[in-house]
């Protein structure tokens, strides 16, 4: 999680349910070091520590120990501080997990932009997963059809054509070749111009 979503009560509830998290610490975090582990500074790691929160409200919301990993990015030379409740993985894996969170965000952004799921038909985990998988499968099938038929339309355009012609009985190639505008077709001069 990004540090903008840092809520220790929610993180503790996640910890209590058996999950783990990796987040960035805020600059003004008041944290007390309890123990330190050795790190290889050649990898970019600065420290790997067990810590506790010191401020009243933060300590009340998250009374357990946290793990603080400080890392210096070799490309930007920026020092990053990560907090996690997972003590069993290597410190570099904590940094890699945080870096990979952006891929998860990009995946959900892609789902919102391309799959056009307007609403879920059920609220259970199985219903949501089924609907997402159906939408992904449809998208992949249209991509395969586009490649095999050598259609010049974008996937978005193909999906729009398919959405307005679901019960047409014609071959896909003919359906998509009819949608392209023919430059040799004479213009209808009775058509009014908008601008």
7-34 per-position pLDDT tens digit: 889 999 989 999 998 988 888 888 899 9
Cα–Cα distance measured from residue 127 to residue 131, given in angstroms and rounded to the nearest whole number:
6
CB 96 within 8 Å of CB 104: no
pLDDT at 2 over 70: no
108-144 per-position pLDDT tens digit: 788 777 777 778 888 888 988 898 888 889 888 888 9
* Sole residue written with tokens 């892609």: 110
pLDDT at 101 over 70: yes
161-193 per-position pLDDT tens digit: 887 877 778 777 777 775 545 555 555 556 566
Q: Which pLDDT band holds residue 49 (cuts at 50, 70, 90)? A: very high
Cα–Cα distance measured from residue 158 to residue 181, given in angstroms and rounded to the nearest whole number:
14
67-83 per-position pLDDT tens digit: 999 999 888 888 989 99
CB 9 within 8 Å of CB 57: no
């Amino acid at each position: 999680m990004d540090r903008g979503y840092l809520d220790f009560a929610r993180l503790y509830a996640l910890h209590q349910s058996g999950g783990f998290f990796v987040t960035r610490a805020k600059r003004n975090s008041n944290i007390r070091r309890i123990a330190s582990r050795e790190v290889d500074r050649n990898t970019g790691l600065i420290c790997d520590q067990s810590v506790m929160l010191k401020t009243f409200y933060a300590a009340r919301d998250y009374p357990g120990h946290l793990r603080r990993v400080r890392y210096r990015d070799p490309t930007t030379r920026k020092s990053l501080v990560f907090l996690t409740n997972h003590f069993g993985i290597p410190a570099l894996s904590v940094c890699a997990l945080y870096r990979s969170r952006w891929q998860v965000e990009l995946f959900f952004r892609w789902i919102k932009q391309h799959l056009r799921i307007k609403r879920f038909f059920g609220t259970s985990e199985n219903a949501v997963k089924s609907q997402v998988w159906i939408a992904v499968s449809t998208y992949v099938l249209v991509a395969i059809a586009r490649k095999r038929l050598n259609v010049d339309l974008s996937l978005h355009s193909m999906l729009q054509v398919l959405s307005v012609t679901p019960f047409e009985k014609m071959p896909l190639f003919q359906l998509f070749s009819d949608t392209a505008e023919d430059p040799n077709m004479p213009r209808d001069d009775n058509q009014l111009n908008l601008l």
